[in-house]
Structure 1
């Protein structure tokens, strides 16, 4: 199986359109279609429901999509690790999904990383908790920052990035009730 064929398939699944997928992959539509047919032949499975256009993924195609995303993420990590070893530090891109309310605190997570790995890039994406879960499941992001009380994430390791003690500063003469309402 060629990594390139797997990339074409994952791109087609994301775009759900042969022309747009081919454009994103910088190949012609016949090249993309031929590569995906080769992948189907190699796996001896139909991965796509075809008509005059892309209709859907088959159940087997959904499984290959899940595994394909994981394989491509691992391949990218391998490539980054090997190229980073020669250059004296990590390279590549760390993709983080962060809920809007936590965006100002993102520097707490990224500051030490940037100092240790100046050749690496960090991409911050403003996302909802559900989008962070989806991004992690689909290997579209590497980590996330969100509140877990209201919308707990599944199949992830969670840790607090910093101790949090919130307070409400007010004038000394302000009268506030004791404790939460």
Structure 2
């Protein structure tokens, strides 16, 4: 059966008139008759009894009538649903983002996206960088935001910005009054770090190792919020991406530029190179790229106050 054949049968069965059915479907009578005959041939028997004066349903036609109504209603509903998804009147998209981005920049992006597409649902997975890569690779999400992978493989990476690490200090620390802090100075204090396998922790360890330094950790936590509060309470010092400066300041810590060595890494948008994005994911990607390239967009990193 085809949708065209079912529509032809339903039009005749409801009106019991070929002439009225032709007007309703905008078909010629030969085309309508051919559609009905093709349907009967495919099913194996007559559905309509037609005379010069009347049209009636056979018992098999009576059986098909309610089924045809339901099938065509489901088809029309499906067409409308997909049309709404393609036109972004409805839809859903899943994105994974590392916590430092999810807590600081992602809400600004989602606000811009929501303003354009208020009926598209967005599912956010706030996970560590390694899980972001894994979720995109395994098609659990369509988009991810994280650090540039060392081996992209099937992942497509589009840079958004390069994020530089800054020192996080208690407000009463003498270092908090300096214009910038060197790693030798920072590492003299008790260091508070994120727990492995955090990408931020691994990046710090690798960068310091290349300069002949070792990261000795006094306290560690899974959450940046906890790290910030521990620093603010005077338990030690830390280093975080510039992206998180505002968050650390709200927790009561002070941020100062770090050098010797400068530690930075590219942050970008990730998707699976071999998979076409849904309309909703494409729209979200457009918003992310527009905001990242806007001079007044959400990717302008906070300035460390002096």
Q: TM-score range by the shorter chain?
A: 0.3 to 0.5
The normalised TM-score by structure 1 is: 0.48
Question: Which structure carries more strand by proportion?
Answer: 2
The normalised TM-score by structure 2 is: 0.29
Question: Which structure carries more helix by proportion?
Answer: 1
Q: Which has the higher contact order (CA 8 A, sep 6+)?
A: 2
